[in-house]
C-alpha cells in the first residue's frame, strides 16, 4: 500500500510561480482539450438561473421516462400474471379439516 504515495496523480498540476491570469489561461486550455477529447460541449450560459432551468428540464424528463417504464412494466406484469396465476380459489378448503 505504501507504493500508492510514491507517484502523484497525472491530473494534478502545481504552478506556484505563475500569475493568476496565466493560470486561468492554462485552465481554459485544459478545459478545451478535455472537451474535444471527450466530445462534450462546454456551456456558454453559466448563470444560476440557466443551471436550475436545465436541471428542472432534466428532472421532468426523468419523471416522464419513469412513468412510461412503470406503465409498460405494469402492463407486462398483468399479462404475465394473467397467463400464470399464482393461486386459485380452492373452494371451502375441505381437504384441510382440523382433526380433534
Per-residue model confidence as pLDDT tens digits over 42-97 = 777 778 888 899 899 999 998 888 888 788 888 888 888 888 766 666 556 555 55
Measured CA to CA, the distance from residue 53 to residue 56 in angstroms comes to 5
Short-list 79, 55, 75, CA closest to 67: 75
How many CB atoms are closer than 10 A to CB 23? 13
% of the chain with per-residue pLDDT over 90? 9
pTM of the model: 0.38
Q: Are 13 and 27 in contact (CB under 8 A)?
A: no
Measured CA to CA, the distance from residue 82 to residue 48 in angstroms comes to 51
Per-residue model confidence as pLDDT tens digits over 27-45 = 888 888 888 888 888 777 7
Grid coordinates representing 53?
A: 432551468
Amino acid at each position: 500500500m505504501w507504493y500508492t504515495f510514491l507517484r502523484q496523480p497525472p491530473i494534478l498540476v502545481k504552478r506556484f510561480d505563475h500569475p493568476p491570469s496565466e493560470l486561468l489561461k492554462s485552465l481554459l486550455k485544459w478545459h478545451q482539450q478535455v472537451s474535444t477529447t471527450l466530445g462534450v460541449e462546454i456551456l456558454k450560459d453559466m448563470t444560476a438561473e440557466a443551471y436550475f432551468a436545465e436541471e428542472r428540464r432534466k428532472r421532468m424528463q426523468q419523471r416522464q421516462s419513469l412513468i412510461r417504464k412503470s406503465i409498460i412494466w405494469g402492463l407486462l406484469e398483468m399479462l404475465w400474471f394473467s397467463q400464470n396465476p399464482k393461486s386459485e380459489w380452492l373452494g371451502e378448503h375441505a381437504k384441510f379439516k382440523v382433526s380433534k
